[in-house]
Amino acid sequence: MAEKVTIATVARHAQVSRQTVSNVINAPQLVRPETRQRVQDAIVALGYRANQAARQMRTGRSRLIAVRIEPTRDGINGTVLDRFLHGLTETAEASGYRVMLYTAPDVDREIAAYGDLLSAYELDGFVITGTDHGDPRTAWLAEREIPFVTFGRPWDHPHAHSWVDVDGAAGTAEATAHLVTAGHHRTGFIGWPAGSGVGDDRRAGWRRALLDAGMDPDGLDVQTEDGIAEGARAARELLGRPVPPSALVCASDSLALGALQTLRSAGTAVPVIGFDDTPVAAAVGLSSVSQPLGDAAARCVDLLTDLLDGPHRDPRQVLLRPALVLRHPA
């Protein structure tokens, strides 16, 4: 174990008082350049790093951000979190923060965990993923004035707090427009049941794109739960209609993959575009709408540190544009 080098070691080495060292670190403008340089040299020479625990005791701030790692849902969409987490960690490091993980089986237990996290580690803030309509977690945090940013919009109150999100409607609209441009006059949509903010948003994009192109979306979409089997079933239903669609946009890669299976076994050449650009999509050559997860994570950290630096800043919102990734099925 390396020798412990504290602020006192540095002070001795640089022939100044402990306080001067602290000033060099936290308020450099108070120290004469000459002295400052001597201290900084000593810091480098000794490899000094401020002890966070001691600093935290004094300042009450831990430079720690908490993120929940979810219990890997269906696996195929679950990989989104992975990339997001990496981006988060990377950006946080650059801003002098660290990411701490926690888990919770449900929302109630997650809120209980906040208490633990907050009183034991004095976390500076939270990044909350996967928010839903009237999310009790954000309410709990807001009530206690604990800084947080969500990845995902609060659909009911768009300006309630800081958030970062990806413009799903823009994504499906672009996918739809691409198919329209390619000459498809009947582009269908397989999406989730109405009521989920994310799902409604993605459907709205498809609808808007068709209307913009002067086409009628009616009778071209179907609502189903997420899943490969569900996607396959939905595609069968659409194909069985009197005037079937000639192309498909789906609300998720799972649905798209299922649709692809149906189409393949039916021998129909109907192009499909999925959503999320999961590894599965890349593997089977499925075109998909890709979320800029690295950017999203970076902006989450930006917004959160912004809140942390000035406690009473107004919340800010960031909406990112996804990208359409075109592939050729094998």
Residue 26 binds what, of DNA, its own copies, none (CB under 5 to 8 Å, by partner type)? DNA
Give which of its own copies, DNA, none residue 118 binds (C-beta under 5 to 8 Å, depending on kind). Answer: its own copies
In this structure, are residues 21 and 35 in contact, taking their beta carbons and an 8 Å threshold?
no
Least separation in angstroms between residue 127's CB and DNA is 24
Residue 23 contacts which entry, DNA, its own copies, none (Cβ below 5-8 A, type-dependent)? DNA
Lookup result for tokens 């107004």: 314
- Chain residues binding its own copies by CB under 8 A are 1-2, 4-5, 47-54, 56-57, 62, 64, 69-72, 74-76, 78-79, 81-83, 85-86, 89-90, 93, 98-103, 115-116, 118-122, 144-146, 228, 254, 257, 261, 265, 278-280, 282-284, 330
Whole-angstrom distance, CA of residue 173 vs CA of residue 220: 15
* Minimal distance, residue 36 CB to its own copies, in Å: 22
In angstroms, give the least distance from the CB of 18 to DNA: 5
Q: Which of residues 164 and 286 has its CB atom nearest to its own copies in the complex? A: 286
**Binding-residue pattern over the window 18 to 47 for DNA, x denoting contact by CB under 7 A:** xxx-xx-xxx-xxxxxxxx-----------
Give the pairing type, strands 272-275 and 221-223.
unpaired
Which of 48, 42, 45, 40 lies closest to 4 in space, CA to CA?
48
Q: Which of 37, 41, 45, 57 binds DNA (CB under 7 A)?
A: 57
Number of Cβ within a 10 Å radius of residue 108? 11
CA dist., res. 254 & res. 9, Å (int): 58
How many residues touch DNA (CB under 7 A)? 30
β-partners of residue 273 are 249, 287
Residue with tokens 């400052």: 36
| Alpha carbon distance 90, 64 (integer Å) | 13
Binds 35: which of its own copies, DNA, none (CB < 5-8 Å by kind): DNA
Q: How far is CA 171 from CA 20, 68, 164, 234, 330, in A?
A: 54, 26, 16, 21, 24
54 has which bridge partners? none
Name the token pair of 207.
């609808």
The first and second tokens of residue 75, run together, are 């696996």
Name which of DNA, its own copies, none residue 18 binds, using a CB cut-off of 5 to 8 Å depending on partner kind. DNA
The token duo for 71 is 């219990």
Residue 232 CB, shortest distance to its own copies, in Å, is 9
Print the binding letters for residues 59-98 with DNA: x by CB under 7 A, - otherwise: x---------------------------------------
**What is the three-class DSSP state of 127?**
strand
Q: 274: number of CA atoms within 13 Å, CB side?
A: 31
Nearer to DNA among residue 119 and residue 181 (C-beta): 119
Query: What is the smallest separation between the CB atom of 107 and its own copies, expressed in angstroms?
Result: 17
Residue ranges that bind DNA, judged by CB under 7 A:
4, 6-8, 16-20, 22-23, 25-27, 29-36, 48, 50-51, 54-55, 57-59
